[in-house]
């Protein structure tokens, strides 16, 4: 980067094809050679209000700031404007957003929270820094290539025990050094875990959130909670070290939310189960080493851990999001599974699955709310910098009304989420299963519906830019295309609303009358 200073008069001389400079935020760029390579065409750069002029406002109406930060474009800067200072700075890794509602209240300067401590704040800073520096660049690559997250990134996550922490508080954290010792295993709570989900969601596309071992997060808890000590010792250390991958294999083409209608069958043969059937929409299934699988057995429904081996085959399913999530169709063809791999009582697998669902649904809410907040931030930035009919978009009442609705939705989601998280901190796993299945079901219905409404509003606000996978509206495009996943995975929106009401009805006092 050059340290030359130029006056406005000097810059103004370079105003034509073959010699074109522009000013963007007090920096001077020589675009002469770049003009023919410019993705937006060369002629736009020779326009009277651009060539040799301050094109800051025009530039930010057409590009994201990150364009200027790319190495190949940084080089185009030849100096600065004499007497001017740059105003637009990219936030440093780990830094908080200063855009109103860009962060939850607990992270906003001058506000208070009954739930979060100084330790949560320190933890959040470290986790955001980690995700922005280690995961964000990988997320961009994988989203494009559709390939699995690299082992190098998985290893780095394992090093600071992020994989283990994504499973929540519990005995699996004992003796581990969490985030370089920032939080002690016995102090780690569901708010710490929620921070990890939120920060992951901020830097990743929806497919990468799932591709980054979401299968393990939902598939390993039954092993933690119900696996024999031998099975635990065989599977858990390697999984938490990022050496083995796990998927939860419940849904089938025959049955989704209707878990009772599953057709994969396990027949007892001595010390083995013989499993036959198929599973569909299995997140991380293409690369999983183990499948936590729901099977029909003679006496009901039984869950077991199936290792990839003879008779197990997986093939990728193309979905609306990137293949990085590893969504698979899984076939079990007379697979022999040791009976000691059974998770929970034989025939009582439904309770294993149902209690596991609470955590999964809560996690989906955590990631969705963070994504909705990012969408609000993107919309606030865009509507302020986009000029239409000579005024910023925010001058339009209809735009402000959409912003009001989006902000209210995300704040409502966040506040409800924090109340539920606090209950989780205070309750045992068993109490959570009894008391929180209904509220979490209702909450997830509310969160995913809010997310889709926000995706719609944001798409209207960004217009055509929300329809392209790159450029200014790239986050909105991704969110609009993938927010529907939150309404389906871990239980369909309507089914979960119904679950919440049915749970409440079960607890209606017999003597309640108007």
Closest approach, Cβ 40 to ligand HEM, in A, equals 2
Count Cβ atoms below 10 Å from residue 120 Cβ, excluding itself: 19
Cross-strand pairs, 316: 328
16, 33, 38, 334: which one contacts ligand HEM (CB under 6 A)? 38
> Which phi-psi region, left, alpha or beta, contains residue 389 (left: φ > 0; alpha: ψ -120 to 50)?
left
Measured CA to CA, the distance from residue 315 to residue 293 in angstroms comes to: 17
Measure Cα distances from 104 to 108, 376, 432, 511 in Å.
7, 12, 25, 41
Contacts of 109-117 spanning 24+ positions with Cβ under 8 A: 113/418, 115/191, 115/418, 115/421, 115/422, 116/191
73, 232, 254, 429: which one contacts ligand HEM (CB under 6 A)? 73
Closest approach, Cβ 137 to ligand HEM, in A, equals 17
Structure tokens of 58? 């025009």
Q: Which stretch binds ligand HEM (CB under 6 A): 60-68, 196-204, 251-259, 489-497?
A: 60-68
* Residues 11 and 81: beta-carbon distance below 8 Å: yes
Cross-strand pairs, 303: 294, 343
12, 62, 82, 274: which one contacts ligand HEM (CB under 6 A)? 62
Measure Cα distances from 250 to 163, 166, 184, 204, 214 in Å.
22, 20, 34, 26, 14
Q: Is 227 in the site for ligand HEM (CB under 6 A)?
A: no
Measure Cα distances from 31 to 65, 69, 489 in Å.
17, 15, 48
SS3 381: helix
Angle, CA 410 vertex, CA 408 and CA 414 arms, to 5°: 115
Shorter beta-carbon distance to ligand HEM: residue 61 or 93:
61
Count Cβ atoms below 10 Å from residue 397 Cβ, excluding itself: 8
Q: Is 59 in the site for ligand HEM (CB under 6 A)?
A: yes
Q: Which residue is nearest to ligand HEM (CB)?
A: 40
Q: Is 67 in the site for ligand HEM (CB under 6 A)?
A: yes
* Residues 255 and 350: beta-carbon distance below 8 Å: no
Shorter beta-carbon distance to ligand HEM: residue 29 or 245:
29
Q: Is 29 in the site for ligand HEM (CB under 6 A)?
A: yes
Q: Which stretch binds ligand HEM (CB under 6 A): 61-69, 236-244, 375-383, 447-455?
A: 61-69
22, 183, 196, 223: which one contacts ligand HEM (CB under 6 A)? 22
36, 40, 150, 233: which one contacts ligand HEM (CB under 6 A)? 40
Shorter beta-carbon distance to ligand HEM: residue 40 or 137:
40
Q: Is 476 in the site for ligand HEM (CB under 6 A)?
A: no
Structure tokens of 436? 């929180």
SS3 331: strand
Q: Is 63 in the site for ligand HEM (CB under 6 A)?
A: yes
Q: Is 44 in the site for ligand HEM (CB under 6 A)?
A: yes
Count Cβ atoms below 10 Å from residue 230 Cβ, excluding itself: 11
Shorter beta-carbon distance to ligand HEM: residue 63 or 147:
63
Closest approach, Cβ 463 to ligand HEM, in A, equals 11
Q: Is 50 in the site for ligand HEM (CB under 6 A)?
A: yes
- Quote the distance between the C-alpha of residue 444 and its chain's center: 15
8, 12, 35, 58: which one contacts ligand HEM (CB under 6 A)? 58
Q: Is 272 in the site for ligand HEM (CB under 6 A)?
A: no
Shorter beta-carbon distance to ligand HEM: residue 435 or 465:
465
20, 55, 178, 200: which one contacts ligand HEM (CB under 6 A)? 55
Closest approach, Cβ 84 to ligand HEM, in A, equals 16
76, 160, 410, 455: which one contacts ligand HEM (CB under 6 A)? 76
Closest approach, Cβ 59 to ligand HEM, in A, equals 5
Q: What is the DSSP letter of 183?
A: B
SS3 208: helix
298, 408, 470, 494: which one contacts ligand HEM (CB under 6 A)? 470
Closest approach, Cβ 36 to ligand HEM, in A, equals 13
- Which residue, 159, 304, 140, 282, is CA-closest to 214? 282
Most distant CA pair in the chain: distance in Å? 90
Measured CA to CA, the distance from residue 135 to residue 200 in angstroms comes to: 8
Measured CA to CA, the distance from residue 150 to residue 165 in angstroms comes to: 20
Q: Is 71 in the site for ligand HEM (CB under 6 A)?
A: no
39, 114, 175, 229: which one contacts ligand HEM (CB under 6 A)? 39
* Residues 444 and 367: beta-carbon distance below 8 Å: no
Q: Is 45 in the site for ligand HEM (CB under 6 A)?
A: yes
Q: Which stretch binds ligand HEM (CB under 6 A): 55-63, 143-151, 404-412, 485-493?
A: 55-63
Q: Which stretch binds ligand HEM (CB under 6 A): 58-66, 189-197, 282-290, 328-336?
A: 58-66
Site residues (vs ligand HEM, CB under 6 A)? 22, 29, 31, 38-40, 44-45, 50, 55, 58-59, 62-64, 67, 73, 76, 470-471
């Amino acid at each position: 980067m050059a340290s030359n200073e130029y006056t406005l008069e000097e810059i103004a001389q370079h105003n034509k094809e073959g010699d074109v400079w522009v000013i963007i935020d007090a920096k001077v760029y020589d675009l002469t050679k770049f003009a023919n390579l410019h993705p937006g065409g060369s002629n736009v750069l020779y326009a009277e209000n651009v060539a040799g002029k301050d094109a800051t406002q025009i530039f930010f109406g057409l590009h994201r700031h990150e364009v200027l930060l790319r190495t190949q474009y940084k080089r185009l800067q030849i100096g600065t404007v004499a007497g001017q200072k740059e105003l637009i700075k990219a936030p440093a890794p780990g830094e908080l957003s200063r855009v109103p509602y860009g962060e939850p209240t607990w992270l906003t300067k001058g506000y208070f929270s009954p739930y979060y401590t100084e330790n949560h704040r320190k933890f959040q800073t470290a986790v955001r820094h980690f995700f922005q520096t280690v995961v964000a660049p990988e997320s961009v690559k994988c989203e494009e290539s559709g390939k699995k997250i690299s082992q190098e990134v998985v290893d780095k996550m394992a090093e600071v025990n992020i994989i283990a922490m994504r499973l929540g508080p519990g005995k699996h954290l004992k003796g581990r050094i969490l985030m370089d010792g920032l939080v002690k295993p016995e102090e780690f709570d569901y708010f710490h875990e929620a921070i990890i989900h939120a920060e992951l969601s901020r830097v990743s596309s929806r497919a990468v959130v799932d591709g980054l071992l979401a299968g393990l997060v939902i598939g390993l808890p039954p092993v933690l909670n119900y696996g024999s000590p031998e099975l635990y010792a065989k599977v858990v250390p390697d999984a938490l070290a990022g050496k083995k991958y796990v998927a939860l294999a419940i849904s089938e083409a025959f049955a989704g939310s209707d878990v009772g209608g599953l057709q994969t069958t396990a027949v007892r043969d001595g010390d083995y189960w013989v499993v036959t059937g198929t599973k569909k929409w299995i997140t991380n299934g293409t690369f999983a080493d183990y499948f936590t699988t729901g099977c029909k057995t003679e006496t009901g429904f039984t869950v077991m851990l199936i290792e990839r081996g003879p008779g197990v085959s997986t093939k990728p399913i193309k979905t609306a999001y990137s293949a990085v999530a590893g969504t698979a169709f899984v076939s079990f063809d007379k697979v022999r599974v040791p009976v000691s791999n059974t998770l929970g009582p034989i025939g009582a697998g439904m309770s294993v699955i149902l209690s596991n669902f609470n955590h999964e649904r809560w996690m989906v809410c955590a990631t969705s709310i963070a994504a909705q907040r990012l969408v609000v931030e993107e919309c606030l930035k865009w509507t302020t910098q986009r000029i239409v009919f000579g005024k910023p978009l925010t001058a339009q009442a209809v735009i402000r009304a959409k912003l009001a609705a989006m902000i209210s939705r995300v704040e409502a989601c966040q506040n409800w989420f924090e109340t539920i998280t606090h209950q989780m901190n205070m309750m045992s796993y068993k109490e959570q299963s009894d008391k929180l299945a209904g509220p979490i079901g209702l909450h997830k219905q509310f969160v995913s519906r809010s997310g889709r409404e926000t995706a719609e509003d944001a798409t209207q606000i960004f217009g055509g830019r929300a329809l392209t996978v790159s450029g200014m509206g790239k986050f909105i495009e991704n969110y609009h295309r993938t927010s529907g996943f939150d309404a389906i995975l871990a239980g369909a929106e309507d089914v979960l609303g119904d679950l919440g009401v049915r749970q409440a009805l079960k607890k209606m006092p017999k003597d309640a009358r108007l």
